[in-house]
Structure 1
Amino acid sequence: MTPNVSQLLAFYTHLTPRDRAILTLLDEHRVLTADQIMRLHFTSYRTAQRRLLQLSQLRLLDRFRYARPTGGADPWLWVLGLYGARYMAGTLGRPMPTESSHRDQLLRLSAYANLAHQKETNEFGVRLARTAHHDPSVALVRWWSERTATARFLRIRPDAHGLWTADGRTVGWFLECDMGTESLPKLIAKLDAYQDLTNTIGVEYPVLFWLPSHVRESNLQNLLRARPPAIPVATATHDADPAGPVWLPTGRWERLPLSGLPSSHGHNTPGNPNWPAGESDLTHQGAAGHHRT
């Protein structure tokens, strides 16, 4: 049953902090599996399923999935529903989506050719956020989607961007999530934009190439060693824990944790989002909070 406006407004008063965190997460990162949401916000898969279905019945969330060629179906993919999108628009001061515009956006997303890439990119942030939840000595203090990172940094288009605090350091990173569909020279050519960013505003974060296999990583490392980039670059594979000592910097043979990579937050300039209003701010725009039951 679809709630009317009065019912929906009444329900808003009963939204839990966890519900709001899930809505915020999906607003930023577009689509997540039930497993990804569960790892971030629940301790029981059954509880997660029940709450997600409740939010879906209220049109705060929506979901879709694909049939498998061999039979059965893939896991559900969760997105904002119409009222979830309107709730986030009201929270952030954006124009309210109409029912038709939201439907069109959902259809475009469900037909998105790079949906597997989107899910894998989000998996990177999910793993870091989960590590931070279980280890109070570390924190994912920023986790931006491609859309937000591109809007805030202007000159680059990373798949994701974040700030990771561990061992007394806050290290920025730009993610290039590789699915093995582009040539290695094309991957390396993306570094030119990051170099331009460093030259302009001084931000020099490691570019993390997250690769689908160790063979592809080895081949990329060989090309990078032949022409070492002027900015920090490190590689790891999709099966690795991104918070752990898995990152292989160009020109080195020892893998380092994310916190061990070089990082510079740049100059106090209008184009640097690390300096809003002329003051350094490395705590702003973090990942959604964790509320688990």
Structure 2
Amino acid sequence: MDDPVLRVQSQLTGRDRVLLGWLYDHGVLTSFQLANALFPSLDFCQRRLRTLYRLRLVARFRPQRADGGSYPYHYVIDQLGAEVVAAGRDERPPRRDHARIERRRWTSSRTLTHRLGVNGFFTQLAGYARTDPGAELSEWLPEAVCQRAGTFTGPDDPGLVRGYQPRVRPDGYGLWAENGTTVPFFVEYDTGGEQLSVLVGKLAGYQELFATIGRVWPVLFWLHSAARERNLRRLLADTPPRIPVATSARDQALSAGLCPAEAVWVPPSGGGQRWRLADLAAYVVGGQDLPGEAA
């Protein structure tokens, strides 16, 4: 019997497999995000995406703008693509309606903008690493994986710790490496819709997580405006956090042509000086185990 997964395998490049894995794990990415992260040009990216679309590995949709026109194509995993990813990871095949459910989820989701924002943070890092041989986004985990019991614990941890399910809900976890320095981190992507006190309140969950696993990593607040960042820093100054935190404003970084890998981060005790992401490794305590190696 002809197996479509086996048939398509020989047509895939290593970059295709990364792209399909991202869509499988992170839901939805735009053509611009994929181009920045993985391809030398937008035109090259669009040609390859059309090929993957014709092979029924990816699906796409294009939301309409309220003021007319449309957004760029948004890509999601198609059923064959999901089966290819699962086979490559030696995982159980996805449900037959996996891709249909995911496509419907993102074409009608009120959280689409937030998810694209989170994914944009990580694809900016990947794009920076693509052109800098000394940098690498070594790990990128989505919110759902961050919440699984055991994700941030190792095989030598006691059973009670290995079964610990984090109470906090990060928007993502990453492991960034640059010129021999590595820094694990959590991301809180802010759209401006929550009270700042709610953002500060999330730190209690991180503190509990770090106390349980015996490791401490920076928590990054990627805020939508410089004014909001200033206000959050005032709150943090009034109640200094007991875990490492750094803040940045997307509008300010964008206007300066900078991405999250660069000098855009301000720790509460940093005197206002902006640090590179790799510099935040100074706040890492208790090791840098990869979640992918956890039991």
Measured against the shorter chain, the TM-score band is: 0.7 to 0.9
**Cα deviation 1:124-148 (Å, max 9, x = unaligned):** 1111111112112222221211122
- 1:125 counterpart residue number: 122
1:266 matched residue in structure 2: 286
Q: What is the RMSD of the two structures over their aligned residues, measured on CA atoms?
A: 2.2
Query: Residues of 2 paired with 1:92 and 1:7: CA distance?
Result: 17
- Aligned residues: percent identity? 39
* Contact residue 83 and residue 93 of structure 2 kept, 8 A: yes
**Other-structure match for 1:109:** 106
Does the aligned pair in 2 maintain the 1:248–1:256 contact within 8 Å?
yes
Letter matched to residue 232 of structure 1? P
Q: Distance in 1 between matches of 2:286 and 2:293?
A: 9
- TM-superposed CA distance for 1:85, in Å, is 0.9
Spell out, residue by residue over 1:72-126, the C-alpha distance to the aligned partner (whole angstroms, 9 max, x if none).
1111100111100111122223332344343123212222211111111111111
Alpha-carbon displacement from aligned partner over 1:210-258 (angstroms, at most 9, x marks no partner): 0000000000000000000000111001242211111111133211111
**1:58 matched residue in structure 2:** 55
Q: Is the 8 A contact 1:265 1:274 kept in 2?
A: no
Shift of 1:176: 0.2
1:143 aligns with 2:140: yes
User: Is 1:21 aligned to 2:42, yes or no?
Assistant: no
Tell me how far 1:32 sits from its aligned partner: 0.6
Instruction: Name the TM-score, length of structure 2 as normaliser.
Output: 0.85
Q: Which residue of 2 aligns with 1:231?
A: 243
CA contact (8 A) 1:201 1:266 kept: no
CA contact (8 A) 1:66 1:73 kept: yes
- Of 124-133 and 159-168, deviating more is 159-168
Q: Using a 3 Å threshold, how does the CA distance of structure 1 residues 194 and 17 change in structure 2: closer, same or farther?
A: same
Which residue, 248, 251, 254 being the options, matches 2:273? 254
Query: TM-score by structure 1 length?
Result: 0.86
What is the DSSP-based 3-state SS (H/G/I as helix, E as strand, rest coil) of the residue aligned with 2:193? coil
Structure 1 residues without counterparts, runs of 5 or longer:
278-293
For the Cα contact (< 8 Å) 1:178–1:212, is it kept in 2? Answer: yes
Q: CA separation in 2, counterparts of 1:90 and 1:7?
A: 12
CA distance in 1, matches of 2:25, 2:238: 38
- Cross-structure match for 1:190: 202
Structure 1 stretch 172-181 or stretch 61-70: which is displaced more?
Answer: 61-70
Partner of 1:289: none
Relative to 1, partners in 2 of residues 1:129 and 1:226: Cα closer, same or farther, differing over 3 Å? same
CA distance in 1: counterparts of 2:73 and 2:288, whole angstroms:
44
CA contact (8 A) 1:246 1:255 kept: yes
Quick one: distance in 2 between partners of 1:88 and 1:77? 19
Distance 1:61 1:34 in 2: 12
Match of 2:8 in 1: 11
Distance 1:107-1:248 versus aligned 2 partners, 3 A rule: same
Can you give the 5+ residue segments of structure 2 that lack an aligned partner in the other structure? 153-164, 254-258
Change (3 A) 1:267 1:68: closer
Judge which range, 99-108 or 194-203, deviates more. Answer: 99-108
